[in-house]
Chain A
């Protein structure tokens, strides 16, 4: 929290600032609704909320193009929503309904969407990182095969501070740097892995330093400031697309809610949480917009109403959704058509 970040970038134009705010607000309200639905037992299983960390997804993901790829963790509702996976299908997935983006087979932790190249939703800590390296390897190879997008595809890979202790993280960093692959590693450092604080898990808590040891540009970013997130991500993506190889961004952030719905939060003080809430990413941006006369009470109410409508629509859609017939239980263990499988590049 006391890290000396560079000064926050200037506010963008009003429309853009409003989009950033809207994205963060959508995640916040969507997830507040999820928590409510969880207590009503509409959503079951594990539910990991992103509340407090919205600036990271909102500031980074919109900078990716449609041909780029995203790999995320079990705390991925925010990434999915901002990437453009419809809120209706994300919510239906959490309901376990067939209209969910993975036909309800994955639930909260496993959002997948081919349309937006959203490759999960991986609930093994660190398990998605090698996949991101492989997507980037394919992106590099496809350029020599023709038939690839005009620009080099970038794969953005999200993971937590806890994942940086996993072997798969380190193997992947080495591979990506060694092969100069177009991956953007996005570490969401929220200071805890479940209940284990950063300094109880890591011998070197300056995470960007560790990433830098693989020979890739690595920056520490104020993850509560959506403008800082956006600025750093823009520079990193430009560099990667230009052939600069993998980049690592450590976003310093904080989750305001428990790790999951089962977590009694014994490991941190209420005061600490309250202190971080003073830097709530939504309030930070909103107050800067107000100071610059880009936002007033009416504007905020309008935004809230828009977002609420989207969330309500997602709930309605999910309520009206249907359960997959049990006869279909064993579908999708193997592919159903005999066509030459796999996704076209």
Chain B
């Protein structure tokens, strides 16, 4: 059947609420408004206020309440409108959710799922366009998921809810309208391993989330010129599937990392470091990166486009490390 990413997430929430009475959705405007990206539209009418709970504008308060509810035996899905606003809940996410299990010597785990939209590209300027999932991936105790396909949007939530520890799910804003085929019986998917979305021989394009589709488009364009690019979708940023990263690089001997986030101190830097540590002798060329320009995302379209990784940039980065180019080695 044809579905949107938005509908896939909504169906995942519906299924979770139906299957497990401990599950409830809580967040700003998830009920009456239907979710700021219309993800939960209709769910309040279907399930009532006990399962679909509108919260006041209190990110720290309701994320912390989600943590407490998880400690109290519930399985809350907490929606934070966007990653930008999650900064107001950083204390609860980092100091409590990620820390309580260890600090309590294993006595208290926190089975909470926190969903939020991430990324830029909608001309909503700097305070609404951040990609901070890589930041969260820095924190031991959290799991970081970045569903980029309909199957993952549909299937990651249930698996995350089965996890005894806090899981953060980042949904790229540009994906909500993405349409595609989704099997009628699509269900839970694993959240531990990366996935090769396109096989190739000449170069590995390593990416996740919203950038996956740009990477796939770039691979199509490169194929027209006879360049065979493998595209690896990381799917989970913590724990990072290092094995999959090293394996693809071992096959193609070249790597381009694509990430909307800034390059300094980033997940793309981490991936590059792991390649250096684990696949250095497989490399025929330096690792290349296509990242967001180091500037707060500007509003006008031409500037925003220039600030975010584009298909052209990816194609160019790949070309720059192919044989016979300046950076490309032999």
The answer on a CB contact under 8 Å between A168 and B61 is: yes
A107 smallest CB distance to B (angstroms): 9
Task: Count residues of A near B (Cβ-Cβ below 8 Å).
Answer: 57
Q: In the complex the two chains form, is B71's CB within 8 Å of A138's CB?
A: yes
Among A106, A127, A336, which residue has its beta carbon within 8 angstroms of that of B92?
A127
Chain B residues within 8 Å of A340, by CB: 162, 164
Of B64, B74, B103, B110, which is within 8 A of A168 by CB? B64
The answer on a CB contact under 8 Å between B92 and A341 is: no
| B56 CB–A CB distance under 8 Å | yes
| A114 to B109 CA separation, bound complex (whole angstroms) | 11
Question: Closest approach, in angstroms, between the C-beta of A162 and any C-beta of chain B?
Answer: 15
Q: How far is the CA of A343 from the CA of B58 in the complex (A)?
A: 26
Q: Which residue of A lies closest to B162 (CB)?
A: A340
Question: At the interface with chain A, which of B93-101, B193-201, B320-328?
Answer: B93-101
Task: Judge whether B95 and A127 touch: CB under 8 Å.
Answer: yes
Among B65, B100, B141, which residue has its beta carbon within 8 angstroms of that of A133?
B65
Q: What is the 8 Å Cβ interface bit string for chain A, positions 3-15, against chain B (1 contact, 0 not)?
A: 0000000000000
Tell me whether A334 and B91 are in contact in the complex, defined as CB-CB below 8 angstroms, given that A119-B108, A142-B72, A341-B164 are known contacts.
Answer: no
Contacting pair A172 B64 (CB below 8 A): yes
Residues of B155-182 whose CB lies within 8 A of A: 162-165
Q: Are A131 and B64 in contact (CB under 8 A)?
A: yes
Interface residues of B in 88-123 (CB under 8 A from A): 91-92, 95-96, 100-111
Which residues of B are found within 8 Å of A172, using beta-carbon distances? 61, 64-65
Cβ contact within 8 Å between A103 and B105: yes
Contact between B73 and A114, CB atoms less than 8 A apart? no
B120-135 contacts to A (CB < 8 Å): none
Task: Determine if B21 is an interface residue (Cβ-Cβ < 8 Å).
Answer: yes
When the two chains form the complex, which single residue of B24, B71, B96, B105 contacts A100, counting CB atoms closer than 8 Å? B105
Given contacts A171-B60, A340-B162, A345-B73, contact A332 B65 (CB under 8 A): no
Contact among A112, A175, A341 for B165, CB-based, below 8 A: A341
Could you name 23 residue pairs across A and B whose Cβ atoms are closer than 8 Å? Answer: A110-B104, A112-B100, A112-B103, A114-B108, A120-B104, A120-B108, A130-B61, A130-B67, A135-B71, A138-B69, A139-B72, A141-B24, A142-B73, A168-B92, A171-B62, A172-B64, A174-B61, A175-B61, A341-B109, A341-B163, A341-B164, A342-B70, A342-B164
Binding site for A on B (CB under 8 A): 21-22, 24, 50, 55-56, 58, 60-76, 91-92, 95-96, 100-111, 140-141, 143, 162-165
